[in-house]
Amino acid sequence: MSEQNPAANGTAAADQGQAQLVLQKIYVKDASFEAPSAPQIFQEETPPQLQLNMSQKVTPLAQDVYEVLLTLTLTCSAAEKTAYLVEVQQAGVFTISGFDARNLDAVLGTYCPNTLFPYARQMISDMIQAGGFPPYFLQPINFDQLYAETLRRRAEQQAGEPQSSEQIGNA
């Protein structure tokens, strides 16, 4: 009888080029909350204006190991004063192997931020409430659509680059 070793089978699968994605760690890299106009802002009757900014950064840590950093910054203003500013940098370490370059880029641009977003959303909600403000619930973000838009912009930039370099060469 032969023994089945799941770890050995996983290694064999990786050696044969099968795609694997392993979430190693999720953590808060940085978080901050500011309420510069408190306590006067609590008396404000003006409807709040909210602005969300988001960015993502991928850092290779080792072969097939990546840190993905999702940064969300939410600014709430009322009567031209900042009610609060909350920023969360939610990070994760992912081992990703067996993907070609195009699919690796897609996994890093869609799956990884989709995995991190609920943690960042919860952190933002908790900090806003702890700051004395009504709960705020970030709506889901379609990272697939954002990634498609990024690909479209990349294609436009690449299409524009050869023309500009040819023009420089001919000048």
Which CATH number belongs to the domain containing residue 126 in this structure? 3.10.420.10
| Range 97-100 contact pairs with CB under 8 angstroms and sequence separation of 24 or more | 97/14, 97/19, 97/20, 97/64, 98/14, 98/17, 98/18, 98/19, 98/20, 99/19
Domain count of the fold of the chain? 1
Cα angle: 73, vertex 77, 83; to 5 degrees: 85
57 belongs to a structural domain: yes
Calculate mean pLDDT across residues 64-68.
Answer: 98
**Count of CB atoms within 10 A of residue 117's CB?**
18
Summarize pLDDT for 87-104 with one digit per residue, the tens: 999 999 999 999 999 999
Spatial strand order of the sheet with 49-62 comes to: 20-34, 81-97, 65-78, 49-62
What per-residue confidence (pLDDT) applies to 22?
A: 97
Domain range for 93 = 18-152
10 belongs to a structural domain: no
94 belongs to a structural domain: yes
Summarize pLDDT for 97-125 with one digit per residue, the tens: 999 999 999 999 999 999 999 999 999 99
Q: Is the pLDDT of residue 136 over 80?
A: yes
99 belongs to a structural domain: yes
50 belongs to a structural domain: yes
The better pLDDT of the pair 94, 161 is held by 94
158 belongs to a structural domain: no
Q: How far apart are CA 170 and CA 42, in angstroms?
A: 63
Instruction: Identify the band that residue 159 occupies on the pLDDT scale cut at 50, 70 and 90.
Output: confident
